[in-house]
Structure 1
């Protein structure tokens, strides 16, 4: 819940000028607040920057005050949506069943889905990382077929590493990240096939900034980054984009 429509209207052109032709080498997406989506999509025209939603409802319409549908997002020029972000799960109580419904609706609508999974600090300290990821991933993917993965991106966001605030740990090492990403691909191969496991894009998200991105980009199996707080500073976000574009 950051940046007004007018702030986004200036953010997008500034980002474009800072990254140069980097958006021709990597996919670049920005997920503003709902009220700024149409403004962002308009500002991003004639650029390679894709506009995404932070959340969406699994229904097309109805008496659901405060919600937004895939149809509304598409009409506003949105190309993708985050699904199951840790704050949606932890703060707003979204269940894995709800995440599954949203993922199904996202794919049915033609939007790209960025499916977020990750364990909390307590789950990590209890050695439950793999159990949590397996449950979250398999529940989210119920009813999803392998040919639909061309519209699915998976983002691993360890909740314990986000923002480096109270109760969080430092950003995981590349060895930690590689082990988790390899496990995610193992699960995809077990549930689907090797092609799906190999070709599905997997991002890392958890306090990514323009400094540690130089290390994270070298992690085997990581295809990109889900950038949170650092993206509020357009220079830092542009820095991350350029690092991955190299």
Structure 2
């Protein structure tokens, strides 16, 4: 059985005071990591504050990182620094990073390799636009993203990877892929990994769904065979809502 993973992606929301208030509200109520992994991914200036104050069942993740260890990259954050301050996860290749900041499949692959060098757990994001979905090209598009992202990774690395399937047309729009649509595409991702690696690796790999996930629909999404959790935007900003989401993981 794959352990569910629920990750909140706060994007560019919350001041320090708001972030600390959230942590104090959820710390004592997050389920044990024995049953579900609970993650909050926040803006870089908040990371150290949240790492210092989080409870033992909550992990903190970065929303981005650079693929070089150090250098003249003004405004970037290194994986080495993230590891040094106690960050455990890093979201890599989110569609907003790809669209607004020119990230490519190649740079995503470099970042995943770098994350593993510094003991960070990558959450690799893949997903298609509405035009691609309507042209019935979702599987081919997502397959190409996965193949390029996983280039030269080992079996052991891929088996511990988290992939978040996020159809771009469902992010922040209020639209959600049906549980069948999400599960079918996630099955396809698992099949791609099976072709590249092995059945064992593909079965150990955890794949989340993301795209307008909220307490009202997370249970039906998690009821599907291949959906192992969720990467959640807006609904993860509220402490009560976040706890409802992670508690849904207990019933997976």
TM-score scaled to structure 2, two decimals?
A: 0.92
Q: How many residues align?
A: 240
**Where has structure 1 moved over 3 Å in runs of 4 or more?**
21-24
Does residue 1:29 correspond to 2:34, yes or no? no
Higher relative contact order (CA 8 A, sep 6+): 2
- The residue that corresponds to 1:102 in the other structure is 111
Does residue 1:43 correspond to 2:53, yes or no? yes
The question of whether the paired residues in 2 share the 8 Å contact of 1:205 and 1:226 is answered with yes
- Tell me which moved more, 10-19 or 32-41: 10-19
Aligned partner of 1:175 among 156, 172, 180: 180
Aligned partner of 2:67 among 45, 53, 58: 58
Cα RMSD (Å) of the superposition? 1.3
- The residue that corresponds to 1:143 in the other structure is 152
Does residue 1:130 correspond to 2:135, yes or no? no
TM-score scaled to structure 1, two decimals?
A: 0.94
**Cα offset for 1:102?**
0.5
**Cα offset for 1:16?**
2.1
Residues 43-78 of structure 1: per-residue CA shift (max 9 Å, x gap)? 11x421000000000011111000000011011110
Residues 159-207 of structure 1: per-residue CA shift (max 9 Å, x gap)? 1111126xxxx31111111111110111001010000111100111111
Aligned partner of 1:91 among 97, 100, 111: 100
- The residue that corresponds to 1:154 in the other structure is 163
| Ranges in structure 1 where 5+ consecutive residues have no aligned partner | none
- The residue that corresponds to 1:191 in the other structure is 196
Structure 2: how far apart are the matches of 1:5 and 1:31? 14
